[in-house]
Amino acid sequence: MFPGVMDVDAAIRTAMESGGFSVPAPNQKIFKEQCAFCFKNPHGPDGLYINLRNYHAFCKQHAVIYANHTSYNLWVQFESTKVAVDEQRSDGEPTTKMTKLTIDAEPKYEFEDKYSVVIHPEYDNKFSNVQGIPEIVETIKTINESTSAERLALLTSTNNGWDNEIKLITRHANLEQSDEGKVLALSGWNCEVEDCGLSENLWLNLTDGAIRCGRSQFLANGEKTRGNGHMQDYFNATRFPLVVKLGTISSNLESIDVFSYDEDDAVIDPNIVKHLMHFGLDPEKMEKTAKSTLEMELDMNEKWEWARCTEDGAMLEPIFGPGYTGLINTGSSCYMNSVLQALIQVDSFRKRYSDQALQTMLNCPIEMLHNDFNAQFSKVIHAMLSGDYSSEADPTHNHIKPLQFKRVAAGSHPEFSTAKQQDVEEYIRFLFENVSKQNQNEDIDPTDSLRFQTWNRFEDNASGKVRYTEQEEVILRLPLPEGIMKPTEKENHYTVDMTDAVQACFSKQFVEGYKSPITGEPKGANNTLSMKTFPDYLILQASKFAYTMEGVQKKLDVEMEVSETLDLSAFRGHGKREDEELLPKDTAPPADAPPEIPANVRAVAGELMIMGFQENQSIRAAYFSNGNAEVATNWLMEHLEEPDINAPFVMPTGTPSARGEIDPNLVDSIVEMGFSRHQATYALKQVPTVAEAVEWLFANLDSIPEESAAAVGTSSDAPEASVTESASKKSFKDGSEKYQLIGIITHMGSRPDSGHYVAHMLKDGKWVLFNDEKVALSQDPPIKLAYIYLYKRVD
């Protein structure tokens, strides 16, 4: 189409002048590792196309769509091709300036980068000779030399996949520097130790300007960086602590590699510009030419992630195609991966986040796309269901890394934003809450098909009067009381029949110590749970984790005989019957006597008395520690000198107290009655006993604030709806009470926040194992050992 050089230059100029070009700003974020709409990268066919208006990258398919959508028609095609390295070379220098060394199995390879200018829609016409347009030449140079926006986000975020990536601000921010007037050149450095002379892996001491080589660092597969550790020797001799890696200095201050020897860590130097200018080094005039230590560590971790396999799966038959895409573990993210594999079995999630994926991403402003919850969820779910990353013909790319989704979905949550293992049940609740919030103004809230309502029937045993409350839930918790656990020959190992656990879930729960607001008699109460609505998909949780008296969470060694078909019709509730009389609203027990001391408080007080403490001391300590023996002992030792420590103890009436952490056993007692952990914990902060907490919940359920959910990415500027407004928009499916098991999530380990999670899903009549990036037909799915069960309604 463009036969001559002048014609090419003219065509590019025309595209630039029509709004397709913007000169990259000094700190321009340049995306070049992954397509904005999918998971394709520059190493695949056609590479990536970097838009020269906003510097976001797209694969060829999505570049065409995006150009048609925006009229931004000028691109740089970035192709990165793996080529064999000449092993006879010994100088260790890269072959060209546009080459990045990577690590692979023998033989060794390099990635050779190629850049071409492309004008939409003529993607087959690639222009490499653009010397007549200096703006484009400089832009391509900037793209090549920049650290990608994706990598910068990983390096600077506290929400990354590796614990050692979090940097702290150095205590040497006000470092005293020598005044000898040493001025350094902007390049061409060498190690200043005699007979060394290394020109790579060089570090600058920020105290006196000494240049020394770093240590030889192991990368992977036997590869090491060159270095003799002379800067370490220099620190040992001088105790000058702060050093910076030469080659990482540029105007992008976040990518400068600073290390503190006496803090023994990579650090942030808030005065790095001042410290560098002291030696004549102006970051604005320098370019990044070397990888930081952290980048090299990331390369090693990614290589390990990509290639690792487990012995357990060695004999399993891999399976490929749409819906069989593996998810790389980004750092204890198996809990998230297992949940995502379960959610793509749910029709409403497929419809919202796969069928509407392209439109969702096109409707999101490009500058917000990488932090938008719905856009990132769409990107992941569509990729998992596309089959593009699950092909028998290309086994090296049969997985995706949902790192960006993990970061956006977690937001600033103090747990889910870390690289720590998490409880998958808590993550499901957290994720569903965010999905609902991000879709409250959309046509589809995919959690509607999993959300259901329950009835709580509370009966005052003294008066026979009742109270009904409605509860919203997304998970049905199956209790495992001792009465249904059958011991086996193995010590502390039990079996449970799921039908017994279901029956226990909907059986009467006695509320000890409840005093009738009608008669004043302490005859207790009964609470009974029933189903008001039945969702299209039902999640069950086996309550395998219990708290000991010391407040430590422990996993029960239980196998469950699972009903793969479930009929819950016997547990549908119908609300108040005609012959029932309701308890009056806003009633409280008569105040003629103080509340009784709970049994758990008396039990712990008894333990303290055996240790030699007085009765009133012991009761007071047990109460203010919520019946936790270890906490009570510590509390007592801290308060023994108080003058009223042994005064007669009178139980406070239901006012909020300043007690310590809530006893998780008390929370569990309330949760077993059908309330959420958040509701139970909140109620126990208002009143001290289970009986009072249950009564308080029935009277104040609507006033409990929503559980705090960290902010997640959103493209909406609209203010958040109130709790009442948000809840009123939620809908509940209802239909047949019969279900078929279609998936499980299994936990291996002693606590829910440690160990490992895997998912097994029933697809096309076959059980499939999803163990992070490994996907294979299952020979023996561990249904009896599962923690989470996913059922689908059978009409």
Considering only CA atoms, which of 472, 320, 286, 480 is closest in space to residue 396?
A: 320
**Residue 307 confidence (pLDDT) above 80:** no
- Domain co-membership, 434 together with 462: no
Q: How would residue 528 be classed by pLDDT, with cut points 50, 70 and 90?
A: very high
- Domain co-membership, 370 together with 357: yes
- Domain co-membership, 549 together with 438: no
Q: How would residue 716 be classed by pLDDT, with cut points 50, 70 and 90?
A: very low
Query: Which has more confidence, 771 or 682?
Result: 771
Query: Which has more confidence, 602 or 107?
Result: 602
**Residue 585 confidence (pLDDT) above 80:** no
**Residue 420 confidence (pLDDT) above 90:** no
Report the pLDDT value the prediction gives residue 375, as an integer from 0 to 100.
Answer: 98
Report the pLDDT value the prediction gives residue 161, as an integer from 0 to 100.
Answer: 41
Which residues are CB-contacts of 780 (< 8 A; sequence separation ≥ 6)? none
- Domain co-membership, 86 together with 121: yes
Give the residue numbers spanning the domain of 374. 313-448+730-793
- Domain co-membership, 221 together with 328: no
Q: Consult the annotation and say whether 364 binds a ligand.
A: no
- What is the average per-residue pLDDT within 34-55? 95
Beta bridge partners of 457: 468, 528
Report the pLDDT value the prediction gives residue 738, as an integer from 0 to 100.
Answer: 98
**Residue 555 confidence (pLDDT) above 90:** no
**Selected catalytic residue, list 59, 334, 364, 505:** 334
- Domain co-membership, 281 together with 221: yes
Is the residue at 184 inside a domain? yes
Domain boundary among 279, 302, 325: 302
- Domain co-membership, 102 together with 196: no
629: CATH = 1.10.8
Report the C-alpha gap between 618 and 596 in whole angstroms. Answer: 16
Give residue-wise pLDDT tens across range 490-527: 888 899 999 999 999 999 988 888 889 899 998 999 99
- Domain co-membership, 372 together with 253: no
Backbone φ and ψ for 197, nearest 5 degrees, come out as 70, 15
Report the C-alpha gap between 745 and 752 in whole angstroms. Answer: 12
- Domain co-membership, 232 together with 292: yes
Is the residue at 699 inside a domain? yes
Q: How would residue 443 be classed by pLDDT, with cut points 50, 70 and 90?
A: confident
10 Å CB burial of residue 92 (0-12, 13-18, 19+) is exposed
For β-strands 57-58 and 786-793, DSSP reports them as: unpaired
**Does residue 756 have an active-site annotation?**
yes
Report the C-alpha gap between 576 and 561 in whole angstroms. Answer: 34
Report the C-alpha gap between 25 and 600 in whole angstroms. Answer: 65
Is the residue at 686 inside a domain? yes
Report the C-alpha gap between 332 and 418 in whole angstroms. Answer: 9
**Residue 441 confidence (pLDDT) above 60:** yes
Report the pLDDT value the prediction gives residue 692, as an integer from 0 to 100.
Answer: 76
Q: Consult the annotation and say whether 213 binds a ligand.
A: yes
- What is the average per-residue pLDDT within 546-552? 59
**Residues of the chain above pLDDT 70, percent:** 83
Beta bridge partners of 318: 776
**3-class secondary structure for 673-694?**
CCCCHHHHHHHHHHCCCHHHHH
DSSP letter assigned to residue 224: B
Query: Which has more confidence, 706 or 43?
Result: 43
Query: Which has more confidence, 559 or 398?
Result: 559
Is the residue at 569 inside a domain? no
User: Under a CB-based contact definition with an 8 Å cutoff, are residues 719 and 767 in contact?
Assistant: no
- Domain co-membership, 245 together with 271: yes
Beta bridge partners of 83: 110
Is the residue at 614 inside a domain? yes
Estimate the crossing angle of helix 293-307 against helix 149-156, to 10 degrees: 100
**3-class secondary structure for 105-139?**
CCCCEEEEEEEEEEECCEEEEEECCCCCCHHHHHH
Of 53-57, 161-165, 529-533, which gets the smallest average pLDDT? 161-165
Is the residue at 155 inside a domain? no
**In what helix (H) or strand (E) does residue 555 lie, and over which residues does it extend?**
strand 553-555
Q: Consult the annotation and say whether 309 binds a ligand.
A: no
Give residue-wise pLDDT tens across range 732-752: 999 999 999 999 999 987 777
Give residue-wise pLDDT tens across range 391-416: 888 766 779 999 999 999 998 888 88
444: CATH = 3.90.70.10
CA angle centred on 112, ends 109 and 117, rounded to 5°: 160
Q: How would residue 552 be classed by pLDDT, with cut points 50, 70 and 90?
A: low
Give residue-wise pLDDT tens across range 261-302: 988 778 889 999 999 999 999 999 998 888 877 677 655 444
Q: How would residue 258 be classed by pLDDT, with cut points 50, 70 and 90?
A: very high
**Residue 451 confidence (pLDDT) above 50:** yes
Domain boundary among 97, 112, 146: 146
67: CATH = 3.30.40.10
Is the residue at 572 inside a domain? no
Please tell me the total count of domains within the chain: 5
Q: Consult the annotation and say whether 230 binds a ligand.
A: yes
Q: How would residue 306 be classed by pLDDT, with cut points 50, 70 and 90?
A: very low
Give residue-wise pLDDT tens across range 71-98: 999 999 999 987 765 544 444 443 333 3
Report the pLDDT value the prediction gives residue 276, as an integer from 0 to 100.
Answer: 96
Q: How would residue 720 be classed by pLDDT, with cut points 50, 70 and 90?
A: very low
- Domain co-membership, 523 together with 471: yes
- What is the average per-residue pLDDT within 581-598? 63
- Domain co-membership, 672 together with 756: no
User: Under a CB-based contact definition with an 8 Å cutoff, are residues 287 and 248 in contact?
Assistant: no
Is the residue at 710 inside a domain? no
Q: How would residue 447 be classed by pLDDT, with cut points 50, 70 and 90?
A: very high
Domain boundary among 281, 302, 323: 302
**Residues of the chain above pLDDT 90, percent:** 51
**3-class secondary structure for 580-600?**
CCECCCCCCCCCCCCCCCCHH
User: Under a CB-based contact definition with an 8 Å cutoff, are residues 480 and 543 in contact?
Assistant: yes
